[in-house]
Amino acid sequence: MGCLNGHRAIVTGGGSGIGAETCRRMAAEGARVAVVDVNGVNAQAVAGEIDGHAYAVDVTDYDALAVAMSDASDWMGGLTLLFNNAGGSTLSPVHDFDLAEWNRIVTLNLTGVFHGFKAGAPLILASGGGAIVSTASISGTRPAAGEAPYSAAKAAVVALTASAALEYAPDIRVNAVSPGMIRTPLTELLLDDRGIGLEAVQRSKTPLDRIGEPADIADVVVFLCSDAARFVTGQNIVVDGGMTLHGSGVDGVLDSVRNLLSSR
């Protein structure tokens, strides 16, 4: 018997990486899952694995997200779990960020999470309560050079989590998870030798001596959604193998990117 039996979940950014693995873990634990991703092909592929439902939606488009969430809730017979996971970033010194790019990163990583709350929380309340988890980042707790809008947005996700936990208690438990360096399509350029090739450096900074895998985060998300975490709300759970005991997760990455670009 799975720990999420009877639950009905929506996962944003569910088409790849942490989101996709969380969809699989939720389904394996008995939940029905709707997969939301800006890449509809990826969303459909994951949904096909888990007998789920796919939605090609950009979380920065509130109206589209609200329609998708409402439809998913109807399809599943309600909504009890929401994982606000969609996000992404680029690297640049603060003053070099184009205004449009700054706004894009903040909107995706912060406003996209707010959109999830705004569209999803009423559906969860109407279903009798549940849990919401959002993806923050160690970049929000220990920022590094080059990731200012991303770090600021992820720190704000933690604050939003705390506010929402107060507002929705006792019906909805609200938590965040802050991944460290996780092997996903978004980090491939940083880790792979065909890109910047920082895997050895990142491992050396991690006491548990490995790069994280999507399952490392998915398992924590499932825990936070389950009754095992029934007395946990308003928390930001760091899952980084101990990396931030030594400092920020991507120290020196901006310089590595600059060196790579200058050598081309």
Q: Which residue has the higher pLDDT, 179 or 251?
A: 179
Q: Which residue has the tokens 């017979």?
A: 77
* pTM as predicted: 0.93
Quote the mean pLDDT of the chain. Answer: 92
Separation CA 48–CA 214 (nearest Å): 19
Q: Which residue has the tokens 């994951």?
A: 46
Please tell me the CATH code under which domain 8-259 is placed.
3.40.50.720
pLDDT of res. 95: 95
| pLDDT tier at 183, thresholds 50, 70, 90 | confident
Q: Which residues pair with 184 in a beta bridge?
A: none
Specify whether the CB–CB gap between 201 and 153 falls below 8 A.
Answer: no
Q: Which residues pair with 237 in a beta bridge?
A: 177
Q: Which residue has the tokens 């409402």?
A: 70
Question: What mean pLDDT comes out for the span 184-206?
Answer: 72
Q: Which residue has the tokens 């960020």?
A: 97
Residues belonging to the active site: 150
Domain boundaries, the chain: 8-259
| pLDDT tier at 151, thresholds 50, 70, 90 | very high
Q: What one-letter code names the amino acid at 7? A: H
Q: Which pLDDT tens digit goes with each residue over 22-64?
A: 999 999 999 999 999 999 999 999 999 999 999 999 999 999 9
Question: What mean pLDDT comes out for the span 234-246?
Answer: 94
Q: Which residue has the tokens 């639950």?
A: 7
Question: What mean pLDDT comes out for the span 72-86?
Answer: 98
Separation CA 167–CA 106 (nearest Å): 23
